[in-house]
Amino acid sequence: MAKKTTLPLQTIAKLQLSVWQNCEVNCISNTLHYMADNKNEQFFPHALSTEEIQKKYESGKDGLTNEQAERKLNKHGDNVIEGKKQESLFRLFFDQVNNPVIYLLLVAVVVSFFFGDIPEAIAIIVVIILNTGIGFWMEYQARTSVNALKKLNRLKAKVKREGEIKEIDAAKVVPGDIIELEAGDLVPADARVISFAELKVDESPLTGESLPVEKNKEKLDEDTQLADRKNMLFKGTALTHGKALAIVTTTGKQTEIGKISEMANEEEKNKIPLNQKLSKLSHRLIWVTVGLAAAFFVTGWLAGKEVYLMLQTAIAWTVAAIPEGLPIVASIALARGMLRLSKRNVLVKKLAAVETLGETTVIFTDKTGTLTENKLSLESIEYPGSENKINTDSLLKNKPEESLQNENFKNIYRVSVFCNDAKVKEECESKGDPLDISLLEYFIEFDKEKTGTLQQTKRFNEDPFDSDSKFMGTVHSLDDELYISGKGAAEPILSRCKFYLEKGEKKKITNDFIEKWIVRNEELSGKGLKVIACSYKIAEENEKKSLKEKEDFIEEMIFLGFICFIDPAKEDVKDAIEKCQTAGIKIIMVTGDHPGTAENVARKVGLSANEKYHSLNSAEIANKKDEVTSTNIFARVNPEQKYNIVNRFKENGEITAMTGDGVNDAPALKKADIGIAMGERGTQIAQDVADMILKDDSFPSIVDAIEEGRIIFGNIRRFIVYQLSYHLAEILIIAGISFSLFYLPLLPLQLLFLNLLSDVFPALALGLGKGDDTIMKQKPKNPKEPIINKRNWIAMGIYGVVMALIICGVYLLVYYQFGKSKELANTVAFFSLAISQLLHVFNMREHKEHVFNNQIVKNRYIWMALALCLAALSAAYFIPVLHNTLSFETLSLVHWLLVGGASLLTLLIIQTIKSAFKI
């Protein structure tokens, strides 16, 4: 049990489960602790009486002896839960280099060193280091940010041992310990209630239930569902009211939360779709490269050419075929997406997860705190009469004196303030029952001065709320009269009323009247509203003494009506959901709450575009498996069902994103393609297994992330098409000249220099584009569609062939017209190809965009990249050291005119084909 605290409910919610997850792990138990003496005989603590449970654990009224506690600790181990082991820095580094493209480049490095081509080897190594360094640093920074979110509190517990209450480390609590708990405490282990007073517990981290749950010590049936085990307290939940003594039944990973944690840790995370697609593309490139290099080597060897020339050409083909800048540009584009999202309060832990968001077809979202405020507010007030409903928002627009002319409302107002123990202060967090806090906050806004006056009215007697009576009563002195207030659950309040108030007139209650309002209470509850009933009575001043001494004074009351509360939907959620629906993304609510509550919230936020809602509860999911993928609301679900629901949609070919904050969400978060945890109210287990964390717990932030993911995917596809099309041109140029003249038209070092410029700077500029304004009006692409589709391959083929034909033509023209100088032809071909590749970036516009007014032309990074590359090419030509290293010849004006003409002709032909054939 945690040390006594005065923390309010809002703060408790932030602390839940963070404390025990940080404890060092030393859990050695692999058996269930609630076993009978015969170890094969399982039993259920909630199905035993308090006497039976104490006997089972050999624990009497004085608790365990120190000897018993030590023996049990040795047997069961520490009361801690094994967390998800963080990857080592070496593993983080290895993940960056574990890539087929990197492997092939490493082979090229070895071959270059072997034949003494040191500059080429060093240049390739620089590429590898840049790619590895960028990826490693960004993911390391993300991991550091995640660690900063973790709380460092350590939980204490009060246990009764040998008749004395002792405060010990919660990790040393054992089955059979009697623990003492009160409001504000976190429960250190699963325990069976043996005595209590006004006990309520917040179980939202475990069950998803948004309201505190009343607890008791009554024996239950063995098959009682977890959320309905009212006599059990669960590790990691928090007491919001009252106090309790409970006997510990399970500890560590055998607790309910421990089992969920184990399920999350055991689940293997599937490879992110982008990684799968890039890997598949890389393998294709490798086979093409190896095949071409082998074919040329065999052909040259049969023709009697030098082995060194053959190997040099093979290296040239490797450099030409593999887009060295692809890993770098992909990493930088994704990293920049991570940084942009971090400014929108989205922390992404894995680079490739950003892009995967863009492929998302289904979002599974929790209700409480994600779609709703996770705070109760007044929805309406209902009272007897023909016009018996008041919208509470409208009351705030009227003058208080006008509203108070309604006798029912005036007395409901008084009862709400009198029968209330909450403390609401502007300068600090409110304390008390969430319903009472909501009432006070509302009426302070309604009339701050009058509410303050009512709060100062002297209270003579009270009947506190408890789970048996289900109501609260008070007696106040008001205007020389005694004002008796009663509020609570509908049935007990109605049963204690003799009259009801209608339009200022007191009328006698009938059985039909009671039945009508009980039915109305059920209707409102079915819509997801929390309902309390209000009643009052006026007594004479001379009755003060008897009322002051009387314990049960809520009798023969006057019924006033119902106050209805709701956890309201967040204001910005509806627009965000509509944006998702326009983008073809399905939103599905998965919650532990009541189906009525879920459907009510779904209607408020427009969860279904056609206003058709199909919900399944936990009992129906197993029996209606065929309906799962057509359902948009799942209510009363447990962690295993959440996991199975996500898995079912994945099997159906969907790319899934799952939001969650509690331990109960962890397995499903890990199973989803993208797990999204909450930063403010999320538990550590949820944050550990998630791919991204919403620091502001805002659903619209998910939509921002999806939009960013789509932009990034479009940019990645664009720069891959850009890179591969001119790499294809390089392959065709080498093949065309090498197989015909057996000369190497472009040297490996020249290709590497050129590719480092084109692969990085223009490609990076494409990767930093802002995307199409209509990107969130497009349907998600088919998740099975490769990163480069058929249309892209056709376009790349056309681009590559056009570029290769023109450059080969220029090479042959110079070779035969200028003295068959292969060095001069090589230099002209190099610069023709270089300028063509730089201008080729303008061919990456969408075919529907205007030639001179498109996202490429508007991208300032494109112009910066082109200027930088032209400067680098100029430096390579004019600086003697670089000129000689790259084996350039001096070019005349005629040669430069050929370079310019070939480059512009390539751009003109491709733009014409693009406009004509819509590619």
**Residues labelled catalytic:** 366
Cα separations (Å) of 841 from 675, 744, 830?
35, 26, 18
C-alpha torsion sign, points 660, 663, 665, 669: positive
**H or E stretch at 595:** helix 595-605
Estimate the share of the chain in helix, then strand, then coil, as percent rounded to the nearest 5.
Answer: 55, 15, 30
Cα separations (Å) of 578 from 341, 367, 372, 777?
21, 17, 16, 11
- The token duo for 704 is 């921002």
- The token duo for 557 is 């009351």
- The token duo for 222 is 């063995």
The SS3 call for residue 155 is: coil
DSSP state of 431: B
Choose among 385, 397, 393, 423: nearest CA to 562: 385
Choose among 506, 473, 508: nearest CA to 488: 473
Q: Which residues contact 696 (CB under 8 A, 6 or more apart)?
A: 345, 679, 680
> In the beta sheet, which residues pair with residue 484?
475, 537
Q: Which long-range contacts (CB under 8 A, 24 or more apart) does 672-680 make?
A: 672/364, 672/646, 673/270, 673/272, 673/273, 673/356, 673/359, 673/360, 674/353, 674/356, 674/357, 674/360, 676/702, 678/369, 678/370, 679/149, 679/345, 679/347, 680/14
Beta strands in 489-582, from DSSP E residues, in sequence order: 497-502, 505-508, 530-539, 557-566
> In the beta sheet, which residues pair with residue 565?
378, 530
- The token duo for 489 is 């659950």
> Half-sphere exposure of residue 131, counting CA atoms within 13 Å on the CB side?
27
Q: Torsions phi, psi of 53, nearest 5? A: -70, -40
Residue 699 and residue 647: Cα distance in Å, rounded? 22
Residue 651 and residue 625: Cα distance in Å, rounded? 13
> Do 27 and 205 form a contact (C-beta atoms < 8 A)?
no
Instruction: Tell me how many degrees the CA angle 241-244-248 measures, rounded to the nearest 5.
Output: 125
Q: Torsions phi, psi of 332, nearest 5? A: -70, -40
The SS3 call for residue 82 is: coil
Residue 112 and residue 118: Cα distance in Å, rounded? 7
Residue 139 and residue 830: Cα distance in Å, rounded? 38
> Do 136 and 93 form a contact (C-beta atoms < 8 A)?
yes
Residues present in the chain in total: 919
Crossing angle of helices 307-321 and 748-767, rounded to 10°: 0
Residue 756 and residue 603: Cα distance in Å, rounded? 54
Give the other-Cβ count within 10 Å of 540's Cβ.
10
Strand order in the sheet with 674-678: 346-348, 692-694, 674-678, 656-660, 362-365, 586-590, 633-635, 615-617
Choose among 101, 306, 132, 313: nearest CA to 751: 313
